Amino acid sequence: MLTLYGISNCDTIRKTRRFLDDRAIPYQFIDVRKTPLSLEKLTRISAQVGLDVLVNRRGQTYRKLKIKERNPNETELLRLLHREQAMIRRPLLEYDNRYHVGYDEEALSHFLQNR
């Protein structure tokens, strides 16, 4: 089954849910604030999509923590991402150990066609 990870009150997550619902695509939603992803899972996702893709550098949490100024290495950034999961770029979708990050309807459609 397709899994959508995100935050319930996020506009991008609402838009993604609408996108999936309009196409009658079944999915499971997991709010990462209530059920955080493990560090091991974040490491696997990062290895597949890249840490630069996975981290939302434009979000409030990233700016609030002044991460750019701290210039963390990859391991430190993964640990920060694990602790502050609001920094995960949304949406994050998982299907059959493949991941898609970000809202781009064309890329999202392509990802979903290959499930």
pLDDT for res 99: 97
Q: Flag whether pLDDT at 61 surpasses 80.
A: no
The 3-state DSSP class for residue 67 equals helix
Q: Flag whether pLDDT at 71 surpasses 90.
A: no
Which ranges in 10-104 belong to alpha helices (H)?
11-22, 39-49, 51-54, 60-64, 67-70, 74-83
Q: What are phi and psi of 2, to 5 degrees?
A: -70, 135
Q: Which two tokens stand for residue 6?
A: 């995100």
Per-residue confidence band for 58, with pLDDT thresholds at 50, 70 and 90 = confident
User: Once rounded to an integer, what is the mean pLDDT over residues 96-105?
Assistant: 95
User: Once rounded to an integer, what is the mean pLDDT over residues 68-76?
Assistant: 80
pTM summary value: 0.91
For domain 2-113, the CATH architecture is 3-Layer(aba) Sandwich (3.40)
The domain segmentation of the chain, as residue ranges, is 2-113
Instruction: Tabulate helix, strand, coil % of the chain (nearest 5).
Output: 50, 15, 30
User: Once rounded to an integer, what is the mean pLDDT over residues 85-89?
Assistant: 94
The 3-state DSSP class for residue 59 equals coil
> How many other β-carbons are positioned within 10 Å of the β-carbon of residue 59?
16
pLDDT for res 72: 78
Active-site residue set: 10
